[in-house]
Amino acid sequence: MPHQQPPWVYDRRRALGRRIRDLRIREGHTQEAFAEMTDIDRRTFQRIEAGTSDPRYGDLLRIADALGVPLSELVR
């Protein structure tokens, strides 16, 4: 049986997704184009932005690099 996360984990995951979405939109990228440029599956990227998926560290590094922000700013 999977371990259920505390509510604050879900809140922070959603906040991370919102930050990624806001930065992506600010840069003028569609979800599809951004997923392609970061080599992340489009559906996976949609789940990351929606806060329903725990992104892998490598995905976060590629997202931060593509957005031109330090990883620390992305996950603050």
- Convert the pLDDT of each residue in 20-74 to its tens digit: 999 999 999 999 999 999 999 999 999 999 999 999 999 999 999 999 999 999 9
Res 3: pLDDT: 72
Query: Collapsing DSSP states into helix, strand and coil, what is residue 46?
Result: helix
Residue 2 has pLDDT above 90, yes or no: no
Who contacts 12 (Cβ-Cβ below 8 Å, separation ≥6)? none
CA of residue 66 relative to chain centroid, distance: 12
Distance of alpha carbon 6 from alpha carbon 9, whole angstroms? 6
Res 1: pLDDT: 46
* CATH tag, 7-74: 1.10.260.40
What does pTM read for this prediction?
0.89
Res 71: pLDDT: 96
